[in-house]
Chain A
């Protein structure tokens, strides 16, 4: 019994310590000594790897999700004779919820895991240690540009996801199912509010970008420098960031739309 309590305590302490190290990493890499001149070319490179290369999966899944929403919305709404409202349904569900959340989940799988594996391998092959030996701070050189790249590209990817999704929904609803063009867009424009819906969605995506990249970078930096350690860290990145995104999404939704 006491052993069990002890092991529980050990797990708790380890988690707490990891959380503290993650906070330390964040502060050291970002707040303490920013150096924009050195970081810019590195940031461009990371933006390319994290943002541009994620574009394809974002665009494809956004299009398909929008099309499915259009189709499902139509089959439900046509029973009530209000199939013009499908535009508003597609736009609201994408802009408020699906675009930030699904983008964050895909981003964690596509870019987060790659970040973790890359930094973990750097650690395992002692590149981080040798950087330190030649007097370059690995936090500033390796961690900070990757973190900022994730933080910047997430809202951009989310907005692209929304637009492509709504376009996909419009294709299905207007071109295929024959909903009148004008009422589709007019209903949507009347229902979607720029500040309440679009900006809140973007705020969500900024929060998710912060959390997902933070987890990815930290797990890589903090992993056990073995092949097993790297694979565990990569798995943890995907699992933790997905859970964090879904949990935070509920909290943010409750704050933004729940009239608390």
Chain B
């Protein structure tokens, strides 16, 4: 009998531990089992990516449709090349879509916002977004503002 209560107690401990791991994985770190691997890659070149990092979100009208998978410097164009993975179900981005680097909130992290164009052809695996707009760099902005003030 004593052994039985102990075994029940240990069983509950194990269950609680397993449950805690599941909660940590799914609820707290937001690990999703489904949308790993599915998606197509598109590329975009930016003059300046600001503080964009891999795993930053790619959004359309603020709704997440994918994530940034890699960032590298293109040695020929001397521009940052961003590789992003878009979910498969989002297959309606036209080839003349534009990509912008935006900031969520005043001090929030940066993400890529995509605005769709009017073209009938759609972006597919390995395509490139040509119309891009760089990150807003606060120092540049302040510099321009001061320059304008001085020249007035």
Query: Which A residues contact B (CB, under 8 angstroms)?
Result: 41, 44-45, 47-48, 51-52, 55, 80-82, 91, 95, 153, 155-157, 159-160, 162-163, 166, 185, 188-190, 192-194, 197-198, 202
Interface contact A48-B6, CB-CB below 8 Å: yes
Interface contact B24-A162, CB-CB below 8 Å: yes
**What are 26 sample pairs from A and B whose C-beta atoms fall under 8 A apart?**
A44-B3, A44-B6, A47-B10, A47-B13, A51-B10, A52-B13, A55-B13, A55-B16, A91-B28, A95-B24, A95-B28, A157-B17, A159-B17, A160-B16, A160-B20, A162-B24, A163-B19, A166-B28, A188-B28, A192-B29, A192-B30, A193-B55, A194-B24, A194-B25, A197-B29, A198-B24
User: Cβ of A163: which chain B residues have Cβ within 8 Å of it?
Assistant: 19-20, 23-24, 28
Residue of B at shortest CB range from A186?
B30
User: Cβ of A192: which chain B residues have Cβ within 8 Å of it?
Assistant: 28-30
Give the dominant DSSP class at A's interface. Answer: helix
User: Cβ of B12: which chain A residues have Cβ within 8 Å of it?
Assistant: 52
Interface: B146 (CB within 8 A): no
Residue of A at shortest CB range from B106?
A81
Contact status of A44 and B7, CB under 8 A, knowing A82-B107, A189-B29: yes
B23, B24, B55: most-surrounded residue (chain A CB, <10 A): B24
Contact status of A48 and B30, CB under 8 A, knowing A80-B107, A159-B17, A163-B24: no
User: Cβ of A157: which chain B residues have Cβ within 8 Å of it?
Assistant: 17
Interface: B117 (CB within 8 A): no
User: Cβ of B20: which chain A residues have Cβ within 8 Å of it?
Assistant: 156, 159-160, 162-163
Bound CA span A48–B9, Å: 6
User: Cβ of A193: which chain B residues have Cβ within 8 Å of it?
Assistant: 29, 55
User: Cβ of B143: which chain A residues have Cβ within 8 Å of it?
Assistant: none
User: Cβ of B9: which chain A residues have Cβ within 8 Å of it?
Assistant: 48, 52
Name the contact of B10 in the complex, choosing from A48, A159, A198 (C-beta under 8 A). Answer: A48
Bound CA span A162–B25, Å: 12
Bound CA span A160–B21, Å: 8
Q: Which 6 A-B pairs have the closest CB atoms?
A: A189-B30, A156-B17, A159-B20, A48-B6, A52-B9, A194-B29
Residue of B at shortest CB range from A202?
B21
> Interface 1/0s, chain B 108-142, versus A by CB < 8 A?
11000000000000000000000000000000000
User: Cβ of A41: which chain B residues have Cβ within 8 Å of it?
Assistant: 3
Interface: B75 (CB within 8 A): no
User: Cβ of B16: which chain A residues have Cβ within 8 Å of it?
Assistant: 55, 156, 160
Given A47-B10, A55-B13, 14 more A-B residue pairs with CB atoms under 8 Å apart are A44-B3, A44-B7, A48-B6, A48-B10, A52-B6, A156-B13, A163-B19, A185-B27, A188-B30, A190-B57, A192-B29, A193-B29, A194-B29, A197-B29
Bound CA span A185–B103, Å: 19
Bound CA span A193–B9, Å: 31
Interface: B31 (CB within 8 A): yes
Bound CA span A55–B29, Å: 24
Interface: B90 (CB within 8 A): no
Bound CA span A58–B17, Å: 12
Interface: B37 (CB within 8 A): no
Residue of B at shortest CB range from A45?
B6
